[in-house]
Structure formats: C-alpha cells, structure tokens
Amino acid sequence: MNIQNFDELTNFTEQTVLVLGYFDGLHRGHQAVFAEARRIATVLNLKIAVLTFPERAELTFKQFHTDMLLKLTSDKKREALFEANGVDFLFYKPLTSKFAACTSSEFVENFCKKLNPKVIVTGFDYTTGSDMVNLKSTDEIRVVQVPELKEGNEKISSTRIRDLIKVGEVAEANSLLGYEYETTGIVVHGFKRGREIGYPTANLVIKDYIHIPAVGVYTVDVIRDGKRLRGFASIGYNDTFEGVEKTIEVNVFDFNEQLYGENLTVLWLDRIRGMVKFDGMETLIEQMKKDEIQARNF
C-alpha cells in the first residue's frame, strides 16, 4: 500500500475507486464499505484509494479536550487495517479550518478529482463540505453509498465501540470490530509485587493515544515474536497496595522470560471482573487463582 500526504501529491495517474471517511477502528460497518469498493474495483479494473484525515474531525470543530486525541487504533494498526481491506493508495489530508470551509462541490472539484475517481464509495451517513451534504452521482463520477450495518437493532459505529471499551465490554466491542481490540506498549519496571505472589507481570506503558479499557481484570492474548500467548491482565490503580497511578499489568501464562524494553501487543478478549480492594495478600492470591482458571478456559 502506498501512503502519501495529499498536499504533496503530484502527477497521480491511476484510475480509482475513491473511498471517503475517517474510519476510526475500521469496524465491520467500515469493512462493508471496503467490500463494496473491492467489488467495484474488480469489475472495473481500478485501484482503491482512500482520502482521509490523520486525526478526528472534532479537533477542528469543537472545544478541545484530551479525549479528542484518543482513537480505537494506533496509526500503525489503522494503516494495516486499510491494507488488509484492499487499499492501494492511502492519502492523508489534514482537516484545517481552510479545508473545512470548502463546499461539497469544491471538495470534489479541487480534491477528489485529483485522485481520478471513476466511482466514489462512502458510508450511508457520510457528508462533506461546509454545506454538509451527501455526494451525488454525476455524468463524470458515480457515487455509491453503502447501507448501514446493524447488530442488535443498533448501528455499528465507532462511537458505540468507544462507549463499550470505556466500560470494559471488550467482548461485545470485538464483535462489532470484527477483530480483537488491541493495545501495544513497552514493558517497563514496576514494583514487582506480582513476582512476590507468584504472578509476575509485564508492566506496560502505552505510548499511542488509544482508548484503554475500563479498570478491571481481563482475559487477554499477548503477541510476541509472532506467537499468541494466553494470559490475564489488570487495569487499575493497585488499590490493595494504596497505588495512585493507573497501571496495565499482564501475566503471561507458562512464561518465564524477561521482557523489559520489548513492545508487546495485548489483545483484549473479555472482562473477568471489576477491580476490588482486598483485605490482604491471601485473599488477593485466592482471587487471582480463580481469575487464571477463567482466563485459561476462555
């Protein structure tokens, strides 16, 4: 997949199916859009191009708060998902105030047409331009709007998935995504209390602006050196030990190697329980044994 900054584009000659949208998480609803783009591209022998924004649109239009920086996928993961969905050319266009002031017709004329689309594919609710309209087909370019995809009589959307992640419902979020929600972090030194109680943990620092699931204990898989290893993870504040900083700690089952400095990808499979402040070490260990059994049997 070829990745470019749209503002640096020169002499693009490929004929394309152009897909428009932001696609946070590239969930099953988005995947339906790309399935249609692939179908059209195959019939017409065209390449698939995407014109998208590097950040969420809220940063341009609303009062800033830090949640606006959070995404369902890291930039690296998002690009991998675009490629897996058949994208040949990925173009990033920053959503500046100047760009946002364009009308939909100006957007098509000054931006879309530079990517030589024979067909433009969007989701059913995609609007563009300062006039906020749905694009319409012309004699020159056909526009295809893909119908919404529902699960449980509700639209599959990035907002719905974000809300599920925030409350720890990762299994349901995964069903809507069509893949396991993941975070990647670097393993750093912690307090090593897990080692003292027989459950050594890898303490992760997440460098990407990613939504972290709610506080609790989760069944997870860890990707290391291409292998998928089962474990369980806690997200919390170490209440039993009077901790104040939020931590992500992962215990990988049947694994004894040192991992400091490595980047690990954690796949969040299911929530086992919320975080509890235990009376002491013995009750904590007893509960962790139960958590381990549940995670191993997932």
Rounded Cα distance, 114 and 111, in Å? 6
pTM: 0.91
**Domain locations along the chain:** 12-155, 180-296
Cβ burial, residue 291 (10 Å; 0-12/13-18/19+): buried
Contact between 108 and 84 under an 8 Å Cβ cutoff? The reply is no
* CATH fourth-level superfamily of 12-155: HUPs (3.40.50.620)
Contact between 49 and 80 under an 8 Å Cβ cutoff? The reply is no
What are the structure tokens assigned to 100, written together? 């946002």
Contact between 187 and 202 under an 8 Å Cβ cutoff? The reply is yes
Contact between 191 and 242 under an 8 Å Cβ cutoff? The reply is no
- Same fold: 12-155 with 180-296: no
Across-strand partners of 145? Answer: 122
CA 211 to chain CA centroid, Å, is 8
How high is the pLDDT of residue 94?
94
Q: What is the dihedral of CA 188, 294, 270, 74, to 10 degrees?
A: 20
Q: Show the beta-strand stretches assigned E in 75-141.
A: 89-92, 117-123
Rounded Cα distance, 186 and 197, in Å? 23
Rounded Cα distance, 92 and 99, in Å? 13
The parts of the chain modelled with pLDDT lower than 50 are 239-244
Cα–Cα distances in Å, from 145 out to 16, 39, 142, 176, 287?
16, 14, 10, 20, 50
Rounded Cα distance, 112 and 103, in Å? 13
CATH code for the structural domain at 180-296: 2.40.30.30
Residues contacting residue 90 through CB under 8 Å, at least 6 positions apart: 1, 2, 3, 4, 49, 50, 52, 79, 82
What is the secondary structure of 63-86 as a DSSP string?
---GGGG-BSS-HHHHHHHHHHTT
